């Protein structure tokens, strides 16, 4: 196992005081692991210099040892590598105090991080990360994209993970490069399989196809594992929505969220990576003692569907999907917290005053769930709730299971 090691010493401390301690630490660690680094840093500039010298992307885990307090800022920069981190602290010079502060910074960015105070604990933590390497690599190496902006009404959106930002200007360049013939061709089969086409006309359908092709080219060019798009901004510019494109991508295995919400995208990506299933991202439209109604204008095309307009704008192409009636899970992620609930997809709802795909979910103590959840958008996924909760816990989320 290849382990990166970095020592932190404050700018007002003399590094020579700690050379013997650091040398003994490295000697012991190198007896059982391949050690990379072993450098002292005190400032962000020294981190940048070290970044040029050593590629910590090639290690399996990183050990950060703050030998003194006041080292939080340079050591937190190692979050950029998205590697499991072990903070080693001792009982002198505010070492543990700094380690606890750094650990929380890393955990907020969903980087597996643990604090140890002995070599035995350090070794156990390293071997534990090694055992989880396959799972952690799948999660930590996700490449997610945000096209446009996060919708302004998502006032609780908190997202600290790195992502690729692609402007709407760039999206429009891709969109304009797609011909009407290409747009029509890509959705001919979708049109043929639809149970009914209500509001959309041919122009709407062509635009929906062009959006799909443009997004597919962006995914390929930017090498994205999934993306979210600030979809409402498209309405004013091209009088269209990406609802149908997102429905297609989610059915095809590419996580795709709307409204620019990155937390929902992260949940979709986790579900796809570990369960190989799509997720339905929906709004809580209503609830009672033992049910929640989930609704949105996009849903994965994995069942019979009708092509509709987008509910709020009356434009574009939305989808009304008859998702399977069976046991499922409801998931909401915000930051490092997650809520998971076991639900039963009981029936379809058909109100013209809600988004197009509407599902009534049976859930115990629905009011308690709504009272304790973390915001609006939730993901419906056909996976076991306990398995999902266990996985999220392993990935570092604080999970509440209903």
- Separation of alpha carbons 183 and 205, rounded Å: 8
The CATH topology of domain 2-136 is Rossmann fold (3.40.50)
The per-residue pLDDT for 158 is 87
Nearest of 34, 92, 94 to residue 63 by alpha carbon = 34
Global pTM?
0.94
Nearest of 240, 343, 327, 337 to residue 284 by alpha carbon = 343
- Separation of alpha carbons 180 and 173, rounded Å: 15
E strand or H helix at 2, and its extent? strand 2-8
Instruction: Give the orientation angle of helix 133-140 with respect to helix 119-131, to 10 degrees.
Output: 70
Nearest of 220, 295, 288, 205 to residue 258 by alpha carbon = 295
DSSP 3-state percent helix, strand, coil across the chain (nearest 5): 40, 25, 35
Q: For 219-236, how does the pLDDT look when each residue is reduced to its tens digit (9 = 90+)?
A: 999 999 999 999 999 998
The dihedral formed by the CA atoms of 365, 157, 241 and 228, expressed in degrees to the nearest 10 = -100
Listed by start position, the domains of the chain span 2-136, 142-401
| Stretches in the chain below the pLDDT threshold 50 | none
Q: Are 317 and 371 in contact (CB under 8 A)?
A: no
Concatenated DSSP letters for 143-182?
-EEEES---TT-TT----S--EEE-HHHHHHHHHTS-HHH
Q: For 94-148, how does the pLDDT look when each residue is reduced to its tens digit (9 = 90+)?
A: 999 999 999 999 999 999 999 999 999 999 999 999 999 999 999 999 999 999 9
């Amino acid at each position: 196992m290849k382990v990166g090691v970095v020592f932190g010493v404050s700018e007002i401390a003399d590094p020579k005081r700690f050379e013997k301690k650091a040398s003994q630490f490295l000697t012991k660690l190198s007896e059982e692991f391949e050690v990379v680094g072993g450098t002292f840093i005190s400032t962000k500039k020294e981190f940048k210099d070290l970044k040029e010298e050593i590629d910590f992307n090639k290690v399996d885990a990183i050990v950060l040892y703050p030998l003194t307090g006041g080292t939080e800022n340079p050591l937190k920069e190692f979050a950029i590598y998205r590697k499991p981190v072990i903070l080693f602290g001792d009982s002198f010079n505010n070492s543990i105090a700094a380690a606890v502060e750094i650990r929380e910074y890393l955990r907020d960015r969903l980087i597996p991080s643990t604090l140890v105070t002995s070599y035995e604990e350090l070794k156990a933590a390293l071997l534990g990360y090694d055992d989880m390497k396959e799972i952690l690599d799948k999660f930590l190496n996700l490449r997610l994209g945000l096209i446009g902006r996060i919708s302004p009404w998502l006032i609780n959106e908190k997202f600290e993970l790195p992502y690729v930002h692609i402007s709407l200007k760039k999206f429009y360049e891709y969109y304009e490069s797609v011909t009407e013939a290409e747009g029509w061709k890509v959705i001919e089969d979708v049109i043929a399989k639809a149970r009914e086409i209500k509001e959309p006309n041919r122009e709407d359908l062509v635009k929906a196809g062009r959006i799909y092709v443009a997004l597919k080219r962006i995914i390929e060019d930017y090498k994205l594992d999934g993306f979210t798009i600030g979809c409402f901004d498209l309405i004013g510019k091209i009088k269209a929505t990406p609802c149908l494109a997102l429905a297609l991508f989610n059915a095809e295995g590419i996580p795709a969220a709307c409204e620019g919400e990155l937390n929902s995208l992260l949940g979709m990506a986790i579900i796809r990576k570990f369960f190989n299933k799509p997720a339905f991202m929906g709004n809580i439209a209503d609830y009672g003692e033992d049910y929640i109604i989930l609704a949105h204008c996009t849903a994965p095309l994995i069942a019979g569907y009708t092509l509709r307009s987008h509910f709020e704008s009356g434009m574009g192409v939305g989808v009304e999907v008859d998702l399977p009636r069976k046991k499922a899970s409801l998931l909401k992620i915000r930051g490092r917290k997650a809520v998971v609930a076991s639900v039963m997809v009981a029936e379809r709802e058909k109100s013209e005053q809600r988004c197009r795909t509407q599902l009534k979910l049976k859930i115990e103590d629905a009011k308690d769930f709504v009272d304790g959840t973390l915001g609006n958008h939730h993901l419906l996924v056909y996976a076991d709730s306990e398995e999902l909760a266990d996985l999220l816990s392993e990935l570092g989320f604080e999970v509440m299971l209903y």
